[in-house]
Amino acid sequence: MKNKVLENSLQQAIKVYSNADGASLYVADKIAQIIKRKQELGDFAILGLATGSTPKGVYKELVRLHQNEGLSFQNVVTFNLDEYYPMHPVEEQSYVTFMRQNLFNHLDIPAHQIHIPDGTLSLEGIQAYCDLYEQKIKDFGGLDMQLLGIGRSGHIGFNEPGSLKDSMTRLVNLNDITREDASDDFGGKDRVPTQAITMGIQTIMQAKQIFLLALSERKAAIIQQALRGEISAEVPATFLQQLEHVEYILDQKAASLL
């Protein structure tokens, strides 16, 4: 039996939109508000960003706000959740390429304020690099916002089933479902890297605000498990149930089994 107070606050955290555009516009507006609030304070806005098909509509709207409504990103510092390993930034499938094409190339954000895990490191150098990634986030005062998708494995970032609640940025093995879902991008599952560098569950949970966006019927089953299932490392997204500062923004199809 779940605690009633927790149940109610979880219910309030769920926003369901009739379509993907409505959900994306809501999240983009929230991010724009954070950026503007920080501008008024003369501060940086520290944004944790995600890749994949899900956030594309959010990024499209942020680009529109910049190009048509004068929203500046000069005070924005970004940290991406993850990157495949190994992966060279110029590759078509790299998250560096994704972020440039979908967002950064169209904004006025200074290049040195962008952080994406480096998929070119030697194995021995990775842990020190990951520790530094964590330290940089801390040095900026922590993430003001983390944008998340959710994988059908239940992952957030590339924190696959078995990831611990106190995990930090690190090298991980990718789950079978995740590699299956990436197979189109790579021209076959065998070509999908078996590893990635990802922020940890703890890194994500420490963000001051979290927006988990899930769109389409493909996500309905995992959304039901993530929001209604027992909290467990087997479905890493369930750890978010323990937080007050999470919003789940869904389209009707992703919410259909709730």
> Using CB atoms, what's the residue nearest to ligand PGA?
52
CB of 42 to ligand PGA, least distance (A): 34
CB of 245 to ligand PGA, least distance (A): 19
Work out whether 200 is an interface residue with ligand PGA (CB under 6 A): no
Distance of CA 156 to the CA centre of its chain: 7
Closest CA to 95 of 196, 218, 204: 196
CB of 151 to ligand PGA, least distance (A): 3
Work out whether 149 is an interface residue with ligand PGA (CB under 6 A): yes
19 vs 67, which CB is nearer to ligand PGA?
19
Return d(Cα 114, Cα 136) in angstroms, integer. 11
The single residue listed with the structure tokens 């194995």 is 123
Work out whether 159 is an interface residue with ligand PGA (CB under 6 A): no
Are 96 and 89 spatial neighbours (Cβ–Cβ below 8 Å)?
Answer: yes
One residue of 119, 151, 200, 236 binding ligand PGA per CB under 6 A: 151
Return d(Cα 161, Cα 156) in angstroms, integer. 10
11 vs 53, which CB is nearer to ligand PGA?
53
48 vs 151, which CB is nearer to ligand PGA?
151
Work out whether 101 is an interface residue with ligand PGA (CB under 6 A): no
Closest CA to 81 of 29, 148, 20, 14: 148
CB of 53 to ligand PGA, least distance (A): 4
Distances (CA, A) of 71 to 41, 67, 94: 16, 8, 27
Q: Which of 160, 180, 234, 247 is catalytic?
A: 160
Triad 134, 136, 141: Cα angle to 5°: 100
Please report, as residue ranges, which positions from 14 to 53 form the binding site for ligand PGA (by CB under 6 A).
52-53
Closest CA to 89 of 80, 100, 99, 97: 97
Region from 29-37, 61-69, 127-135, 147-155 binding ligand PGA, contact rule CB under 6 A: 147-155
Work out whether 201 is an interface residue with ligand PGA (CB under 6 A): no
Return d(Cα 68, Cα 86) in angstroms, integer. 38
Work out whether 150 is an interface residue with ligand PGA (CB under 6 A): yes
Region from 16-24, 100-108, 145-153, 229-237 binding ligand PGA, contact rule CB under 6 A: 145-153
Work out whether 236 is an interface residue with ligand PGA (CB under 6 A): no
Return d(Cα 160, Cα 148) in angstroms, integer. 14
One residue of 17, 35, 47, 54 binding ligand PGA per CB under 6 A: 54
The verdict on whether 160 is a catalytic residue reads yes
Q: In sequence order, what E strands does 60-143 have?
A: 76-80, 82-85, 114-115
- Residue numbers annotated as active site: 160
List residues near ligand PGA by CB under 6 A.
Answer: 52-54, 149-151
